[in-house]
Amino acid sequence: MNKTFKCIALAGCVASLFVGASASAQTAGSWLVRAGAVRIEPKVDSGDLSAPAFPGTKADVDSSTQFGGGITYMWSDNWAIDLPLSMPFKHDINGDGAIAGVGKIGETKALPITLMGQYRFLEASSPFRPYVGAGITYAKFYKEKGTATLTGLTGGTSANPTTLKVDSKLAPTIEIGASYNFNEHWFVDATVLKTFLKTTTTLSTGQTLDIRLDPLTTAVFVGYRF
């Protein structure tokens, strides 16, 4: 009986610690930082490369995974301002449509710069808090490179290879996610974001390609509250 009583008392103490710790885990004025893995998966809808080109010449863009994180400020117990952060992503650009199967025709680095407003459900004392968010993303593309395949397809030469430039764009972003607080400071966070992004790629030949990327971003983090 004494052993049972001690177990019950210990369990009660542990539960009290979690409840007490979570009571201030995401209250107004809190700063939350996080780090983990981020994956960007473009949902590509490509237009045709402008003339002169084979009819139906399109492009596809590979997914990319990178180390990322973010900073969140709790404006109130429910409203938050969030700044996602990450290392630059590298995306391979492949032939599609009439040139599907030619492989890689280029690559680009991408740095999404996003600012989100979030609404977190349930009470600030709840260990589990789902949330939704909306904001704006500036998709910065840089260090684009064309391949020998692209040069061959567009009539370039080794002395005059075809280069490319992807336009950086502003785009709206929405998200859904949830966090779980282990104690007053530590938590895990998972989120899914959708960015409605359309851009244009211009080749050094003067040809252009409009492409809708609409990337889906998934991320899992470990975080700490200050």
User: Which stretches of the chain score pLDDT less than 50?
Assistant: 1-23
Tell me the residue type at 141: F
Per-residue pLDDT, 24: 59
CA distance 1 to 11: 15
| C-alpha span between 22 and 31 (Å, rounded) | 14
Residues 6+ apart with CB under 8 A from 45: 211, 212, 214
* pLDDT tens digits for range 182-198: 998 999 999 999 999 99
> At residue 55, what are phi and psi to the nearest 5 degrees?
-55, 135
- Give tens-digit pLDDT for 153-173: 999 998 999 999 999 999 999
For domain 2-225, the question of CATH label 2.40.160.20 is answered with: yes
Domain boundaries, the chain: 2-225
pLDDT in tens, 46-55: 999 999 888 9
pLDDT for residue 67: 98
Exposed e or buried b per residue across 142-154, where buried means at least 16 C-beta atoms within 10 angstroms of its C-beta: eebebbebbbebb
